């Protein structure tokens, strides 16, 4: 079968397995071109199959020589389809890491569940002994609580509605989008799913099981953005969740104090991920930001962000470079005043008729397709792929 991208709205419904391999290898080569750093050697990545989590794992394995265990909830090939991009990302990462002599164990399941925590504890004991770093990079719309209750997050505003132009990836067009105000229950549910409660549970479980080495650190990922994006992000339900995540870093840091450990939140720049593409209106800001930062020579993708995070701001030999709130500001280049002034000037002029001339929507679309294995150099997308050959591949 010949696989072509199938996009509905801002969601990719399929992937190209060989394209996913090319995307993983491309990130690996970028790390090798950047050089090595003296970072952690035993790492657990919670949410490891795409975006920041996958980039973290690649940066730490090929930049620092780390052995890793990665957790993700992905689906493999079946009668319903070829499976998810993350499924194949896990496979190709493991193969490349093992060729380097590194441990690269993939655990497939619900990272919110107690059973996955216990499975991870057993795997750490058997394969790594302990871990020096825990990366928390979950992005989910659903959390099943220990009592079986299902809690869902929502992307809504708080207080009053918000409207603006959003980007429809399926039709390559700008369309009106809006965020409705969330109820108090929806805010609480979003905080439950996307806040720091589960991160704290993970760190407590790992500590009690003796899986954290002395001086172990943990980092979770967040976003704040400029004031112009506050109505759709920081002041929305997702912003409430991120504030809870930030506060959780303080609590976890106290948990780790007795073993000399620390907890941090890395505030990343706006980037093309499966999650960010789904947030109403935000992709328009992102396309304009990409245009400006590429012109200024400051644009980074996920892998560049993670190499700078670990190689410079966490393990660069100067101590962890964070502010007084335990935030490592990876958005420093994005929030540069000159950059934001240029973004604001362009964004104010964007219309459904001229958007392609004012923002890097071509680059945004290219990055989104690459997340699912499409548009990668060296891949013959016209060559048929035999689905049965994929059944022998296992994470």
379 annotated to a ligand binding site: no
Q: What is the DSSP string of 275-316?
A: TGGGSSSHHHHHHHHHHHHHHHT----HHHHHHHIIIIIITS
361 annotated to a ligand binding site: no
- Phi/psi at 206 (5° precision): -65, -40
84 annotated to a ligand binding site: no
206 annotated to a ligand binding site: no
Nearest one of 73, 15, 26 to 48, comparing CA atoms? 73
The CA radius of gyration of the chain, in Å to the nearest whole number, is 20
315 annotated to a ligand binding site: no
Give the pairing type, strands 162-168 and 173-179: antiparallel
Catalytic site includes residue 233: yes
Residue written as tokens 């220990």? 146
Paired strand residues for 222? 267
48 annotated to a ligand binding site: yes
271 annotated to a ligand binding site: yes
52 annotated to a ligand binding site: yes
How far is Cα 146 from Cα 112, in angstroms, rounded to an integer? 8
263 annotated to a ligand binding site: no
269 annotated to a ligand binding site: no
Question: Which one of the listed residues 221, 233, 285, 315 is annotated catalytic?
Answer: 233
346 annotated to a ligand binding site: no
Nearest one of 134, 103, 95, 111 to 17, comparing CA atoms? 95
Q: Which residues are annotated as a binding site for substrate?
A: 223
| Catalytic residue IDs | 233
What residues form the annotated binding site for NAD(+)?
47-52, 73-74, 110-111, 138-139, 242, 271-273
Give the residue ranges of the annotated binding site. Answer: 47-52, 73-74, 110-111, 138-139, 223, 242, 271-273
């Amino acid at each position: 079968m010949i696989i072509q991208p199938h996009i509905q709205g801002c969601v990719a419904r399929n992937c190209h397995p060989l394209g996913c391999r090319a995307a993983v290898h491309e990130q690996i080569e970028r790390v090798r071109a950047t050089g090595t750093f003296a970072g952690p050697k035993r790492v657990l990545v919670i949410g490891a199959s795409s975006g920041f989590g996958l980039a973290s794992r690649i940066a730490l394995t090929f930049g620092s020589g780390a052995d890793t265990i990665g957790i993700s909830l992905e689906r493999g090939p079946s009668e319903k389809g070829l499976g998810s991009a993350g499924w194949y990302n896990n496979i190709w990462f493991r193969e490349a890491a093992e060729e380097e002599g590194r441990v690269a164990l993939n655990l497939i399941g619900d990272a919110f569940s107690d059973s996955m925590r216990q499975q991870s504890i057993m795997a750490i004991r058997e394969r790594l002994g302990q871990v020096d770093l825990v990366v928390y990079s979950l992005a989910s719309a659903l959390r099943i609580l220990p009592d079986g209750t299902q809690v869902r997050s929502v992307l809504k505003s708080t207080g009053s509605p918000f409207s603006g132009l959003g980007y429809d990836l399926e039709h390559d067009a700008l369309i009106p989008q809006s965020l409705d105000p969330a109820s108090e229950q929806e805010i609480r549910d979003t905080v439950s799913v996307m806040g720091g409660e589960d991160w704290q549970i993970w760190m407590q479980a790992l500590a009690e099981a003796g899986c954290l080495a002395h001086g172990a650190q943990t980092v979770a990922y967040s976003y704040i953005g400029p004031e112009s994006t506050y109505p759709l992000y920081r002041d929305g339900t997702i912003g409430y969740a991120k504030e809870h995540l930030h506060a959780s870093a303080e609590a976890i840091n106290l948990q780790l104090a007795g073993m000399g450990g620390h907890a941090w939140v890395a505030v990343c720049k706006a980037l093309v991920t499966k999650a960010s593409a789904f947030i109403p209106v935000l992709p328009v800001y992102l396309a304009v930001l990409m245009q400006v930062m590429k012109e200024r020579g400051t644009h980074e993708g996920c892998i560049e962000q993670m190499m700078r995070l670990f190689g410079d701001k966490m393990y660069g030999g100067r101590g962890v470079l964070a502010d007084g709130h335990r935030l490592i500001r990876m958005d420093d280049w994005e929030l540069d005043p000159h950059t934001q002034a240029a973004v604001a000037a362009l964004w104010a002029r964007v219309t459904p008729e001229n958007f392609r001339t004012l923002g890097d929507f071509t680059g945004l679309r290219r990055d989104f397709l690459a997340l699912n294995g499409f548009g990668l150099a060296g891949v013959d997308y016209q060559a048929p792929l035999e689905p049965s050959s994929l059944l022998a591949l296992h994470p």
